[in-house]
Amino acid sequence: MIKSKLVSLRPIELSDDIVLQQLINNPLISENVVGWTFPVSLFSQKSWIQSNANNLSYRLVVVDNATNEAIGITGLWDIDWHNQSALSAIKLLPAYKGKGIGTEVVMLTMAWAFYNVGLRRLHSTILDFNGPSLGLYIKKCGWRVEGRQYEAIFRKGEWHDLYSVAILKREFDALSAASEFINTVCPVDTTPNIDINFQDYI
């Protein structure tokens, strides 16, 4: 488990079926993200969890430290090990938005991806009308817009543009709060001990 001040990130468990179903079926969430699916039954959600074995994607459940309740999901999708990059995203239950939790989740995920998994680039896509997500990634977490796909996504009977956003490890390192989250995911002191007498180990 990866734990910071407000939230923790942990692997998906079978008991997360209800919250994962809510994240898919709640229109306040599903209509603001890029992917689309038909409504998902609890049976289908349980089956998905049981069959979720893919070394190119790794999802983490977001847990509220105050209540120990699962409140969202994040992680890495489509990991490209050769180019050290992956897609990253976040979904939170509506009641937890606007409380600083989203910022902490994105920062924690970046630190984990860059300093534990060993990636060097994260990317994502955001709908043109999703101002809160654009503000979260660009203004609060240091991501930048790399491009714009015109009329790429169908929502509410209309076609909408899709912004491509990304961040490099060195850009994350330049953020003022980066060291706090790096120390959270990698609490071990890795400073070389120069007082070691190597003759003792030969």
Strands of the chain, DSSP E:
2-3, 7-11, 58-64, 69-80, 85-92, 121-127, 144-155, 158-168
Whole-number pLDDT of residue 46: 86
Is the pLDDT higher at 170 or at 197?
170
Helix (H/G/I), strand (E/B), else coil: 138? helix
Q: Which CATH superfamily is domain 2-186 in?
A: Gcn5-related N-acetyltransferase (GNAT) (3.40.630.30)
For 187-200, what is the mean pLDDT? 75
- Compute the 3-state secondary structure of the chain and give helix, strand, coil in percent, each to the nearest 5: 35, 30, 35
pLDDT, position 201: 64
Domain boundaries, the chain: 2-186
Q: Of 167, 63, 162, nearest to 123 (Cα)?
A: 167
pLDDT-based confidence at residue 196 (cuts at 50, 70, 90): low
Contacts of 68 (CB under 8 A, 6+ apart): none
Query: pLDDT at residue 178 above 80?
Result: yes
What is the rounded CA–CA span in Å between residue 77 and residue 86? 6
pLDDT of residue 97: 83
Question: pLDDT value at position 160?
Answer: 97
Amino acid identity of residue 32, one-letter, is N
User: Nearest to residue 186, comparing CAs of 7, 4, 28?
Assistant: 4
What's residue 8's pLDDT?
96
pLDDT of residue 42: 87
**For 103-118, what is each residue's pLDDT tens digit?**
999 999 999 999 999 9
**pLDDT greater at residue 198 or residue 78:** 78
According to the model, what pLDDT value does residue 91 have? 95
Q: Which two tokens stand for residue 18?
A: 């209800």
Instruction: For residue 99, give the nearest of 146, 61, 123, 66 by alpha carbon.
Output: 66
pLDDT class of 38 with cuts at 50, 70, 90: confident
Rounded Cα–Cα distance for residues 36 and 106 (Å): 22
Q: What is the pLDDT of residue 64?
A: 96
Express each pLDDT in 122-175 by its tens digit.
999 999 999 999 999 999 999 999 999 999 999 999 999 999 999 999 999 999
Convert the pLDDT of each residue in 47-105 to its tens digit.
888 887 666 889 999 999 999 999 999 999 999 999 999 999 999 999 998 889 999 99
Which candidate, 73, 104, 66, places its Cα nearest to that of 185? Answer: 104
